[in-house]
Chains A and B, each alone.
Chain A
Amino acid sequence: MRTTLLTSVQVAGFVAAGYLRLDGVVPDELNDQAIDVLEAGIPRSPYGTPVAKAFPDGSFARRLIELPAVAGALHSLVGPDPTVDHHAVHVREPREGHAQPLHADAIIDTRMDAFDVQLMYYPREVSADMGGTLVVPGSHLRRTNESDTGRYQNLRGQTRLTCPAGTVMLLHHGIWHGGRRNDSDVRRYMFKIRFNPTVPQVRLWDVSDLEDPAVSAELDRRFPWYEHATGRLEAHNRVRLWRAMTGDPSFDVEYWNTRVNNRPGRVA
């Protein structure tokens, strides 16, 4: 199967923002079939079913995740042969009058060296009044439980998704997000698949640009909603994740982790 692996800079961007956007990567031929397929429903499998079993060869979902750009991004983040945690079709009805509260999926996940990836696929163009998915960049490493973040309505720098048909987003499992209110006359469809890795998530992407200074720049990004002090902790925590994903315990950004781990004369 042909794949297009992510670069180190792209993966660092994912570690910083908690998501990767692939605009319009799904061809019209698939997008045109999608609504009927999603309306008919895609059979559920038990949690942790191998992809080949969950989505038979030639099925719509299988063709979607075997598109080179999608397959390459998935391989880069969760590796070969991830299992399907679960999948779901989300529909926001026209003028339904309410939005989802800001939330993270599942329960608090304390893993610092592993993560699941959620694929979100939008078969049709999403316009501003259709209330696309709200995503809070850089929120994925925060430990909150599900919709406990529901009090927050708006955060500076939030992404209110508008996108062309055939857009795919890949999200870290911890990211804060929610379905915005649909104020249009058009039904909004989104197909979600959660993937669990089955191998260590170490150097799974194209690492030829690992030393590119843009990697550090991505990992040190601050988002407009960060409080000044906590923003530094975000950089610290991303370095911990990047060290795990590269197998390089000496990597650092701005000396944050090196400085606070310095214990001269002592055995670590």
Chain B
Amino acid sequence: MKQQVLVLYLATSALDAPVVGWSRYDGTGRTDPTTGDGDEPPYETGVEALRDGWRLFQASQLIPPYPGHEYDTSFLKHEFFFEKLS
């Protein structure tokens, strides 16, 4: 059993929000996803990935901004990790 990992970045902290970014890492070695290899996401929302059999195992915590840094922008905040075993 080897792990395939899908990372979805969503427009809000809700799992049924639209996908704005995505990454895939394939432990089976059958595919070799990499940076900038597609323009269309594999799913439109996080829930759509669940319906296709991906198992959610991590979602980003909601962390308030540090005082004085409320307007800073940095990494995407709403990161969801999924896996499939095959």
Whether a CB of chain A sits under 8 angstroms from the CB of B23 is yes
Is chain A's interface secondary structure helix, strand, loop, or mixed overall? loop
- The answer on a CB contact under 8 Å between B72 and A153 is no
Known: A154-B35, A181-B37, A230-B76. 20 other contacts (CB 8 A): A101-B35, A134-B35, A142-B74, A148-B75, A149-B75, A150-B35, A154-B41, A156-B19, A158-B36, A158-B39, A181-B34, A181-B35, A181-B36, A225-B21, A227-B9, A227-B11, A227-B12, A227-B78, A228-B11, A229-B12
Binds B, one of A1-9, A119-127, A231-239: A231-239
- The residue in A153, A154, A227 that gathers the most chain B C-beta atoms within 10 A of its C-beta is A154
Interface residues of B (CB under 8 A from A): 7, 9-12, 19-24, 33-39, 41, 71-78
Contacts of A100 in B (CB 8 A): 35
Is chain B's interface secondary structure helix, strand, loop, or mixed overall? loop
Contacts of A134 in B (CB 8 A): 35-36
Least Cβ–Cβ distance between B71 and chain A, in angstroms = 6
Interface residues of A (CB under 8 A from B): 98-102, 131, 134, 141-144, 148-156, 158, 160, 178, 180-181, 224-230, 233-234, 236-237
Tally inter-chain residue pairs, CB-CB below 8 A. Answer: 97
- The answer on a CB contact under 8 Å between B75 and A154 is no
Contacts of A160 in B (CB 8 A): 36, 39
